[in-house]
Amino acid sequence: MSSKSIATSGQGLLPLDLPGLSAQAENEVSVRPKLPVDATRLLEALKYQVHVAIDYCHTLQPDDVLWIEVFGDVTVEGREQVEVKDYSGDLTDNHENLWKTLKNWLNEDFPHQDYASLVLLTTQEFGARASIQNWEGLDLDQRLEALEKIHKDAEKRYADRSTSRDGDSAVMSESKAKARKGKQEHIPEVLKFQRLVMAPGMREALKQVLAKVKLITDQPDLLGLIDQYKRRYLRAVLSHRQDEFLDDLFGFMTNAMKMTEGWSFTSAQFSSKIAELTKRYMVGTVKFPRIDAGKVGLEAQEASMRERLYVRKLEEIGADKRTIGQATVDRLSADKYIAELYKDCATSREDVEEYSSSHLQLHCSSRLSWIDRSPPLPSHSERQRNSRAFYHETCARPVVVFGSYDFTPVAFRNGVYHMLADQDSGDSLNDFQWKLWE
């Protein structure tokens, strides 16, 4: 991906004022060479490219796959290959941006036949006198004719400059004439690109490419692109959370595993992430999914749960069959609710884990409080009765709302309790227990 060529004054870290630092070392620090590349600018260029990719992800059809940097800047497999250019200045007939991009598309290693469109997307405006500014209105022959004229005029200007230099060399000293002759052999980079693109041997491939080329100009800069995205896609998101939404989405797009193992996104992956983030940051609330409570009740009667850890923990405090039966209904309900939440793509595993973790912490603290406040009980049956009271009080507490949902069913929250009790943490401090003794 190309970006503006900007020379900046790269500065090293200021020297530390340490005892014993020699004058020579101080001098070496002070004359550290300037950095040749503006790393901040490179980062901005990458951000721009990724935000363009985000825009294209919204256009993906169910079977589409979008790639970043693998086949070009942004590629929708089998559909479009997009070169993203964040440049200053106008897009003129002889701008390197145009000709270098055409050269890349004509490279024998680039399968231009695989794409329906080849897009040059740039922040540049067309130059006022650019003959390519009506590109979309030109047919194939007219596009080819325009490029031929641009190249012909460029060759003429170069030849005229060379002739002028040769004339000047005739009245110079021999040494100066040789120096001038060496300089006149320098060919402008853009002319090199033009010669490669317009070479006779490239003509058929060039025609195939030109028929697919789209020039999308005058695109907003990075901040403008972000603002445009917010207006287009984030109207349902709380205004003060829109930046967080974009930060999370950008993090998803630049995931380290994605970048190193094949920087690609399917339509389903992107849609799932958008649904999750929209639910998290949207204005208002979302309906909690429903399940068939009657069907779950029948499943609970038929299920064999006696050996499950959460059942053994209830039996440990002397819970009766009715209590264990209701616990089983809640446990199965939580499983089904979570499956529905994931199916809607509005909840991530991290959301459920965070909700569960919070309830584990609250439960452990509440249990310790009960143990501290309970008088010493001489008999095991009394300790069991006290533990059952703790169990029923815990299950009767008001439910903490899950995420942005309109309400959270008691069966879901209590089911989460039994899911936690079903896990053997191996850590007494974080083990979900109902018994009020150690």
Return the domain boundaries, the chain.
40-277, 293-430
Q: What angle do CA 332, 338, 343 make, to 5 degrees?
A: 130
78 C-beta neighbours (distance < 10 Å), count: 12
Q: CB within 8 A of 155, min separation 6: which ones?
A: 191
pLDDT of residue 171: 52
pLDDT of residue 69: 86
Express each pLDDT in 243-271 by its tens digit. 999 999 999 999 998 888 889 999 999 99
Buried b (16+ CB within 10 A) or exposed e, 324-345: bbbbbbbbbbbebbbeebbeeb
pLDDT of residue 7: 33
Residue 91 carries which side chain, given as an amino acid letter? Answer: L
Ranges of residues in the chain whose predicted pLDDT is under 70: 1-38, 165-185, 283-285, 344
pLDDT of residue 176: 58
pTM, two decimal places:
0.62
Burial of 82 per CB tally in 10 Å (0-12, 13-18, 19+)? buried
pLDDT of residue 172: 54
Can you say how many angstroms the Cα of residue 77 is from the centroid of all Cα atoms in its chain? 18
pLDDT of residue 357: 95
pLDDT of residue 166: 60
Burial of 223 per CB tally in 10 Å (0-12, 13-18, 19+)? exposed
Query: Which structure tokens are listed for 4?
Result: 């503006």
pLDDT of residue 38: 59
